[in-house]
Chains A and B, each alone.
Chain A
Amino acid sequence: MRQRGPHHLLSMADLDRDGIEQLLNLTESFAEVGERPIPKVPALRGKTVAWLFYEDSTRTRLSFETAAKRLSADTMNFSVSSSSVNKGESLRDTIETISAMGIDGIVVRHSAAGVPQQVTQWTEASVINAGDGWHQHPTQCLLDLFTARTHFGDLEGRRITIVGDIRHSRVARSNALGFATMGAKVTLVAPPSLLPSSLEGWPVAVCHNLDEALEDTDICYLLRMQLERQKQAVVPSLREFHNEYGLTVARADRLRSDALIMHPGPMNRGVEIAGEVAERPQAVIGEQVANGVSVRMAVLFLLLGSGLDVVDNNRIAA
């Protein structure tokens, strides 16, 4: 590891296996902080982080906010609906303006892929991608890896089946890459209309039959059906989607007893997952949310506080 200046977390492609391992090990330390009677450490005292969410978010934003506060960083909230963006200020001007106020980190969510990468050119601050279009959502992937690791230990050779709307999912892209980097076998299951037009370069197998794919899987990872896209008629009906590609009660019964059910939230009960299945002990969706805070503490600390470099930004995101 070498010392360096401001660095960024834009894509899971920025991290190699060692970097991910190191980040997950560090996450253990921050998870412990969360269990203290006073869950706050002064590690990022005097640092300021700005949230730049151009797209709706509940859990990611609150999770980052909690993480920053547990590290004693100051946070700057930026709500697009009540800001100068409404007066037509460009993204670049917005970034340059808040950078001029002196900030150390910017957490960006945007509906267009590649925006976080662009933002790095307009600021000296570290940039963290909190989801850009259909491209990447690296902290979601890291919290999923951490959750899987707490149950299985080493992920080498483990099977993860990612089901649902792959095409419009940045979580699917990040997780396919992240789990494959850790040595897991990734299988995607979706109707052809919900797969990307090309899977070239994806380290995955594809299957169109969910029952077949779930036979020996360790993790059944369900994606949110993006209902707002339903008007584009990507699937004939939600009921049919649920029967063909949803985790129904019958399918959940056939899962191995130690298999995990994961979902990045927010869930559409009765679409990608049967309402009752989400309440089973195998469904670790609440754990994922809790781990999200610890993982984001580790990311914020590494980028803003540690003086270490585990993120290789010389590699361009896939």
Chain B
Amino acid sequence: MSADDVSRAVRRMAHEILERNHGADQVMVVGMQTGGVALAQAIAEAIENIEGTGVPVGTLDATMHRDDFGLRPVVPEAVTDIPVDPSGRVVVIVDDVLFTGRTVRAAMDAIHSYGRPQAIQLAVMVDRGHRELPIRPDYVGKNLPTRIDEIVDVNDEGVDLGEMA
């Protein structure tokens, strides 16, 4: 995926979010630290361009809700910022790559310690498969079939596929 493909996908996902939720009224976008933060910002800007009104944007580090303590070193990478009460809102969790689904599971738990959203939806730039939990995305930039030992890199230049070191 080139950078242009990524920005086209962002605009499409913004449209899909608005269509599905009948506008932007109750929508709140939350980017996963660290890969989903820029993407969440981009989706929020696209929504604002379409609707003319902004939506709240938050960032979330779900490290402390993970299930793999003791299996590998884990520390939070950044401070979480949920600017408004998510209760009654549609929270769209945004991440760059959806893989096992464990980060999303942790994120859903984390969001519930801030309030009870009316709904939680999931937007990802790349769905690479290999889910280990019953989680599916609502908005997808690109479905990218991968081997389990490959690495998906989403950056400013677009999306690249690499071999695991």
Contact = CB atoms under 8 A, between A and B. Distances in A.
A33 B75 contact: no
**Chain A interface bracket (under 10, 10 to 19, 20 to 34, 35 or more):** 20 to 34
Given A3-B73, A26-B75, A42-B65, A37 B80 contact: no
Nearest to B68: A307
A29 B80 contact: yes
Nearest to B71: A307
B70 interface: yes
B80 A32 contact: yes
Nearest to B61: A29
A39 B113 CA distance: 7
Contacts of B70: 305, 307
A250 B128 CA distance: 68
A1 interface: yes
Contacts of A42: 64-65, 109
B147 interface: no
A308 B73 contact: yes
Given A36-B114, A42-B64, A42-B109, A26 B69 contact: no
A317 B35 CA distance: 40
A306 B85 CA distance: 29
Nearest to B73: A307
Interface string B69-96: 1101111101111000100000000000
Contact of A41 (B64, B75, B115): B64
A21 interface: no
A193 B78 CA distance: 47
A312 B70 CA distance: 19
Interface in A2-20: 3
A37 B113 contact: yes
A39 B69 CA distance: 20
Contact of B73 (A1, A32, A37, A38): A1
B59 to A, nearest CB: 11
Contacts of B73: 1, 3, 306-308
Interface in B9-46: none
A33 B72 contact: no
A33 B80 CA distance: 8
Contacts of B64: 29, 33, 41-43, 71, 301
Interface string A60-71: 000000000001
A36 B61 CA distance: 13
B86 to A, nearest CB: 10
B76 A26 contact: yes
B29 to A, nearest CB: 19
A244 interface: no
A269 B38 CA distance: 51
Given A1-B73, A3-B73, A306-B73, A38 B113 contact: yes
A282 B81 CA distance: 28
Interface of A: 1, 3, 26, 28-29, 32-33, 36-43, 71, 301-302, 305-308
18 contacts: A1-B73, A26-B76, A28-B79, A29-B63, A29-B79, A33-B64, A37-B113, A37-B115, A38-B112, A41-B64, A71-B64, A301-B64, A302-B75, A305-B70, A305-B74, A306-B74, A307-B69, A307-B72
